[in-house]
């Protein structure tokens, strides 16, 4: 725990690649292995119609295990209107932060620690 009583955030994230080749990379910043790492589906705001229901969402695959100080690329799929998007229509780059803009999305991450307890972390992302 930190001096203010909060548990330090176990994950840091970065984006690698550009455009349709963008990938999300998580790093386990702890000294213990983390199991069953999952990111909840992110529903993206419709860019064409303000206030319309989300047409696109990003679904991440779970990663079984991330060693201490190890990085893992989180496999993902973009779905538009419930169908798998073409690689050129991948939307992951929309989760990159842009300086001076609000972060309208959140990555909700869950995992099991070395004691088998399920833990959670939220990371604001996007533009």
- State the total domains in the chain: 1
Residue 2 lies in a domain: no
Res 2: pLDDT? 41
Q: Report yes or no on 5 lying in a domain.
A: no
On whether residue 53 sits in a domain, the answer given is yes
DSSP string, 10-76: -EEEEEES-GGG-EEEEEE-SSS-EEEEEE--EEPPPSSSTTPPP-EEEEEPPEEEE-TT-EEEE-E
Q: Tell me the mean pLDDT in the region 113-127.
A: 95
Within a domain: 81:
yes
Whether 104 maps to a domain, the answer reads: yes
Contact, 79 vs 86, CB < 8 A? Answer: no
Check whether 5 has a pLDDT greater than 60: no
Residue 113 DSSP one-character state: -
Taking the C-alpha atoms of residue 93 and residue 121, their distance in angstroms, rounded to an integer, is 21
Residue 127 lies in a domain: no
| CATH, residue 63 | 2.60.40
The reported pTM is 0.88
> How does pLDDT run across 52-78, given as a tens digit for each residue?
778 999 999 999 999 999 999 999 999
For residue 22, is it within any domain?
yes
Q: Give 37's strand partners.
A: 63
Confidence of residue 3 (pLDDT cuts 50, 70, 90): very low
User: In 3-state terms, what secondary structure has residue 92?
Assistant: helix
Q: Cα(97)–Cα(35) distance, rounded to whole angstroms?
A: 27
Residue 120 lies in a domain: no
Range of the domain at 43: 11-112
The residue ranking higher by pLDDT, 98 or 124, is 124
| Confidence bin at 1 (pLDDT 50/70/90) | very low
Q: Per-residue pLDDT tens for 27-58?
A: 999 999 999 999 999 999 987 777 777 899 99
């Amino acid at each position: 725990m930190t001096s203010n009583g909060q548990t330090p955030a176990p994950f840091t994230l970065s984006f690698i690649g550009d455009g349709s080749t963008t990938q999300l990379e998580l790093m386990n910043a702890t000294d213990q292995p983390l199991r069953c790492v999952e990111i909840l589906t992110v529903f993206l705001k419709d860019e064409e119609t303000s206030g319309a229901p989300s047409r696109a969402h990003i679904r991440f695959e779970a990663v079984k295990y991330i060693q201490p100080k190890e990085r893992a690329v989180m496999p993902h799929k973009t779905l538009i209107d419930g169908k798998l998007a073409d690689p050129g229509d991948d939307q992951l780059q929309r989760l990159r932060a842009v300086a001076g803009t609000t972060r309208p999305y959140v990555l909700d991450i869950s995992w099991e620690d070395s004691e088998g307890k399920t833990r959670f972390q939220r990371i604001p992302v996007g533009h």
